[in-house]
Amino acid sequence: MDTGFITLMRKLAPDLTDEMTRRALILERISVLQPVGRRQLAARLNLPEREIRNTAVLLKDLGYIELDASGMTLSRKAEEVLDSAREFSKAMNGLTETENRLCELLPVDRVLVAPGDADEDPQVLSDVGRICAVRLRSILQNGNTLAVTGGRTVAAVARNIQSQTPLNVMVVPARGGIGRSVELQANTLAEEIAGRLGGHYRLIHLPDHMDAAAMQEMLKMPEVHEAMELLERADVILHGIGIAGETMKERNMSRTVQAELQRRGAEGESFGAYYDLDGNCLMESSSVGVDLARLKRTCRMVASAAGSSKAGAIISVLRHTPHALLVTDQGAAEKMLNILSA
CA angle 85, 90, 96 (to 5 degrees): 130
Looking at residue 335, what is its pLDDT? 97
Q: What is the CA radius of gyration of the chain?
A: 22
Per-residue pLDDT tens digits for 136-163: 999 999 999 999 998 999 999 999 998 7
Q: Bigger pLDDT: 3 or 295?
A: 295
Per-residue b/e over 102-137, b at no fewer than 16 CB within 10 Å? beebbebebbbbbbbbbbebeebbbbbbbbbbebbb
Looking at residue 230, what is its pLDDT? 77
Give the residue among 107, 84, 78 at the shortest CA–CA distance from 96: 84
Q: Bigger pLDDT: 72 or 229?
A: 72
Q: Is the pLDDT of residue 224 over 70?
A: no
Angle between helices 186-197 and 152-160 (to 10 degrees): 10
Give the residue among 183, 114, 127, 182 at the shortest CA–CA distance from 332: 114
How many percent of the chain have pLDDT more than 70? 87
Q: Bigger pLDDT: 220 or 266?
A: 266
Looking at residue 105, what is its pLDDT? 97
Q: Are strands 273-276 and 281-283 parallel, antiparallel or unpaired?
A: antiparallel
Looking at residue 86, what is its pLDDT? 83
Looking at residue 201, what is its pLDDT? 92
Q: Is the pLDDT of residue 1 over 60?
A: no
Rounded CA-CA distance 250/187 in Å is 18
Per-residue pLDDT tens digits for 192-205: 999 999 999 988 76
Looking at residue 3, what is its pLDDT? 62
Give 171's pLDDT tier (boundaries 50, 70, 90). very high
CA angle 297, 277, 118 (to 5 degrees): 90
Name all domains of the chain by residue range, CATH numbers in brackets. Answer: 3-92 (1.10.10.10), 95-341 (3.40.50.1360)
Rounded CA-CA distance 117/157 in Å is 17
Per-residue pLDDT tens digits for 292-338: 767 888 999 999 999 999 999 999 999 999 999 999 999 999 999 99
Q: Is the pLDDT of residue 206 over 70?
A: no
Looking at residue 91, what is its pLDDT? 80
Looking at residue 161, what is its pLDDT? 94
Averaged over 278-282, what is the pLDDT? 96
Per-residue b/e over 246-266, b at no fewer than 16 CB within 10 Å? ebbeebebeeeebeebeeebb
Q: Is the pLDDT of residue 208 over 60?
A: no
Averaged over 19-30, what is the pLDDT? 88
CA distances from 219 to 129, 181, 222, 271, 284 (A): 33, 25, 8, 18, 19
Per-residue pLDDT tens digits for 77-116: 998 898 888 888 888 777 888 999 999 999 999 999 998 8
Give 120's pLDDT tier (boundaries 50, 70, 90). very high
Give the residue among 276, 271, 289 at the shortest CA–CA distance from 315: 276
pLDDT, the chain, mean: 87
